[in-house]
Amino acid sequence: MQPLCLASEITEQQSKGFEIDGRGIFAVRKNDQLYVYENRCPHRGVPLEWMPDTFLDPEKQFIQCATHGALFTIDAGLCIAGPCNGTSLEPVSFEVIDGQLCIAPN
């Protein structure tokens, strides 16, 4: 498993991006659950964030793509508004090991 950071570094309703060997990934915490997705919008295949580590909408209710504003649910990565409505972000399987957020190598 590839460690990304301490799981505690991602606080409630915060997001954090990572680049691992050219692979973009981000993690979000909501209701004390962590979610990890590939950083790739299903609309155009581009990275999602507005600014570094900024993947959520202003209300922090959804993941929002900076390019055309698509909204994705945090817990399932499902697009519920925007040009790719009905598609989903690709989830990344992860584990927290000794407090470290770790993903399986690609």
CA distances from 71 to 4, 5, 23, 31 (A): 25, 26, 22, 18
- Token pair listed for 71: 């909204």
Residue 65: CB minimum distance to ligand FES, A:
3
Using the rule CB under 6 A, give the single segment among 8-16, 23-31, 60-68, 95-103 that binds ligand FES: 60-68
H-helix or E-strand spanning residue 100? strand 100-103
- What letter would DSSP give residue 1? -
70 binds ligand FES (CB under 6 A): yes
Using the rule CB under 6 A, give the single segment among 5-13, 15-23, 41-49, 98-106 that binds ligand FES: 41-49
Binding site for ligand FES (CB under 6 A): 41, 43-44, 46, 65, 67-68, 70, 82-84
